[in-house]
C-alpha cells in the first residue's frame, strides 16, 4: 500500500512542479476569437515579473492595433487587466504545455461586453 501511495504522488509531482517552474517571460504567437469581430492573430511579449510579481504584457495585432496590460500569476493561472484603445478588460489564462510548447489559454472580457472572447498564446522558441 505504501508503494502505491508513493507512486501516485510521484505521478502528480511533474504536474504541480510544472505550474511553478514555467518561465512565462518571452515572446508568444496569439490567436483568438473576438465575439464581435471574429478570429484574430497577434504577437505578444510578456516581461519578467517585477519584485512584487507583476508581469507586463504587450500585444501587437495583425490589423496594426496594440494593447498593453499587467497581470499576476497564481499557480497555473495568469490574470491580466488590459487596455485596448479606450476600452479595458480582463483576461484569465490557464498555463499548460503541449508538444514542448508553453501555452496560455482562456477567456477575456472587455468592459460592458456580455459575451467573452477566447485567446491562446503559444510561447515562441527564442
Is 7's pLDDT higher than 50?
Answer: no
pLDDT for the residue 99? 84
- pTM for the complete prediction? 0.83
pLDDT above 70 covers a percentage of the chain that reads 83
Mean pLDDT of the chain: 88
Phi and psi at 4, nearest 5°, equal -60, -45
* Dihedral angle computed from the Cα positions of residues 51, 58, 119 and 33, in that order, rounded to the nearest 10 degrees: 160
Q: What are phi and psi of 13, to 5 degrees?
A: -55, -50
4 pLDDT band, cuts 50/70/90, is low
Q: What is the CATH number of domain 2-123?
A: 2.40.128.120
For 46-104, how does the pLDDT look when each residue is reduced to its tens digit (9 = 90+)? Answer: 999 999 999 999 999 999 999 999 999 999 999 999 999 999 999 999 999 988 889 99
Confidence at 2, pLDDT banded by 50, 70, 90? low
Query: Residue 14 pLDDT more than 90?
Result: no
Q: Report how far residue 94's alpha carbon sits from residue 18's, in angstroms, rounded to the nearest whole number.
A: 12
Domain range summary for the chain, segments of one domain joined by +: 2-123
Amino acid at each position: 500500500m505504501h508503494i502505491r501511495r508513493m507512486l501516485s504522488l510521484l505521478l502528480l509531482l511533474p504536474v504541480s512542479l510544472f505550474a511553478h517552474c514555467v518561465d512565462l517571460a518571452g515572446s508568444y504567437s496569439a490567436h483568438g476569437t473576438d465575439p464581435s469581430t471574429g478570429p484574430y492573430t497577434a504577437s505578444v511579449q510578456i516581461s519578467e515579473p517585477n519584485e512584487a510579481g507583476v508581469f507586463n504584457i504587450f500585444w501587437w495585432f495583425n490589423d496594426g492595433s496594440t494593447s498593453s496590460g499587467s497581470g499576476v500569476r497564481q499557480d497555473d493561472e495568469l490574470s491580466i487587466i488590459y487596455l485596448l484603445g479606450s476600452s479595458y478588460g480582463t483576461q484569465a489564462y490557464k498555463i499548460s504545455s503541449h508538444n514542448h510548447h508553453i501555452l496560455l489559454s482562456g477567456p477575456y472580457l472587455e468592459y460592458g461586453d456580455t459575451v467573452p472572447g477566447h485567446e491562446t498564446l503559444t510561447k515562441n522558441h527564442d
